[in-house]
Structure 1
Amino acid sequence: MVRPSVPPEYITQHDGTEHLAINNTWSRRFLTRLALHTTAKFYSRDGLCVPISKHKIVKTGFRVHLTEGATLKYLAENTTIPVPRVYCSFLHRNRAYIVMERVQGQELPTILKTISKESLEGVFSQLRKIFRELRALPPPPGTGVESCIGGSLYDSRIPRGNPRFGPFKTIQDFHFWLRQDLKPEDLQDREKDQDWYDLQDMMDRQDESWPPPVFTHGDLNPFNIIVCEGNVAGIIDWEFSGWYPHYWEYTSAWFGNVTRTGWQSMLDRFLDRPRPEELKMEEVRNKWWGEF
């Protein structure tokens, strides 16, 4: 197996993170790397995830970080949310490896073709319960915008956030960073057109007082929801997760799935929609500083 070279900006992202490893023994490291060179050849790779058996996958790549394994452990210990079990995680030659459960079932878009209306409503009812439990997790005192272990975050949809960003002491600090440190006085010489008013309103709302952050999946697309026999078997891909402003779960799912209009229309069936002014705030930010 020939590994691609690591981009320069990713070389230092693992510095000081060795303590996040889980069940990090020599035998587990050896057997994992052995499986990647042997049994993995019998399965199809799915992005960053490499199946090594019917029940286990290894998530690895230069963008993979031990924080995701720590997040899955945190959720397993503090919630009843169905997440993949982590068997071990470790660093090897400046690359993270997370060995986890291969959740059995089908991605939500697949079952939408055949599921009954009643069964689908049951899935959405389960999702409502799952995300209410997630958002009810109490943030530790002094929590800002950060990962579950108080560290940096990852979101490939934020151009400025490569390879990782944060943590931020406050939500206002996070907002200031998102808009690339733009201040109201920076617009003084700009023509007062609709964009000017939109940006001023966005900054006013971003800089106001905010309630405490809530724990957020951050990449809520239908392919990250696994369903088996009418039940939600797993919520997967937690690499974007962390403590974020309360609107972030909904707006990241909405603006991150602009080509999946059917999915956008389903969000209200299990997530609370933010206030209209918060949606507008994020719409303006995404126009100027988002990926889309």
Structure 2
Amino acid sequence: MNTELNATWADNLKRRLGLQLSVSLTVWRASPLLIMKTSDCSEIAAMKFARQNTNIPIPRIHESDSRDWLFMDFIDGETLWECWDRLSFFRRFRVACTLRLFIKQLRALAPPAALIVGSLDSGHAKGIVFGETEYAPFRSMDHFRRFCNVAAFLGWEHTPGTNAIRLEVGPPPRPTMDWTPVFSHADLNRSNIILDRQGTLWIIDWAMAGFYPRCIEPIVMQDMEDPVMFPQLANSSWPSFIPFIAGRVTDEEKAYWRYVTTGIDHRRPGVTV
């Protein structure tokens, strides 16, 4: 961590991503050929699962004696966060088509035996939609659906505004959506997609991956491109490609999962489903 190689690489990466130099990264350049990060069993399981069952370019994991660290190949290239707006329309369309095929491959995978929903190693639901806490494992998809409905109602109760406004808007929507869990990266933002020097697309950071309803992938992709939260993204063409890459979601679905996220943040102690 204290080597000149890592320090130089980290400072360069922060500049490229527009981060302050004081920001702490969660990855380190262990050697010219290796990246290291703190070990996460669910990420290791997801990377191995996707590498074994798809042809998606994913960094190779290197086994080590340390249970605390995950070592993987260093991919020399630029994230789509850096290079997307410099690409020609034709290159952007090719990237979008490639990512669309990647997601199609992931969604075609069957879950391991006994896994209902969530991460491969534990069956816990986690990630951007579910906040910083891991939940369950769930006994069935009906159990997972009830959990989400309770969270959505709590989220509606805690949405900023007066009771009158909430009554006018109505309770949280119950969209007609496909709850069938499919394998999802669940954090497919542009900083987790690398275009290497040979033009190959690599997918990194599988820590949030697991089996979730298919609408989770595009909702997370859109949330990470919110121009209100990230004003510098207001003029980017990337959000317009997300429905083509990961599928369309309805306004009701978006509202429902926003309420779920808010409700999880305001969970009442002892509430069960």
TM-score (norm 2): 0.73
Question: Which of 63, 74, 88 is the aligned partner of 2:63?
Answer: 88
Give the superposed CA RMSD.
3.3
CA contact (8 A) 1:122 1:230 kept: no
Question: Structure 1 221/41 Cα, relative in aligned 2: closer, same or farther at 3 Å?
Answer: closer
Residue 120 of structure 1 is matched in structure 2 by 92
1:255-285 C-alpha deviation (Å, 9 max, x unpaired): 2332244343331231111244322322443
CA contact (8 A) 2:184 2:212 kept: yes
Q: Paired residues, what number?
A: 241
Q: Secondary structure at the match of 2:28?
A: strand
Gaps of 5+ in 1: 1-35
Residue 169 of structure 1 is matched in structure 2 by 139
Tell me if 1:130 matches 2:95: no
Residue 171 of structure 2 is matched in structure 1 by 200
Distance between the aligned counterparts of 1:213 and 1:67, measured in 2?
17
CA contact (8 A) 1:144 1:170 kept: yes
**1:143 shift after superposition:** 3.3
Residue 21 of structure 1 is matched in structure 2 by none
Residue 119 of structure 2 is matched in structure 1 by 147
CA contact (8 A) 1:199 1:284 kept: no
Tell me if 1:44 matches 2:44: no
1:37-79 C-alpha deviation (Å, 9 max, x unpaired): 657656434621111122211112xxx5222112111111111
Residue 20 of structure 2 is matched in structure 1 by none
TM-score (norm 1): 0.69
**1:102 shift after superposition:** 1.1
Question: Structure 1 290/131 Cα, relative in aligned 2: closer, same or farther at 3 Å?
Answer: farther
Distance between the aligned counterparts of 1:173 and 1:198, measured in 2?
27
Distance between the aligned counterparts of 2:105 and 2:95, measured in 1?
15
Quick one: higher RCO (CA 8 Å, sep 6+), 1 or 2? 2
1:148-188 C-alpha deviation (Å, 9 max, x unpaired): 234334425644x43x333223344334445665769x98x
Residue 218 of structure 1 is matched in structure 2 by 186
CA contact (8 A) 1:154 1:239 kept: no
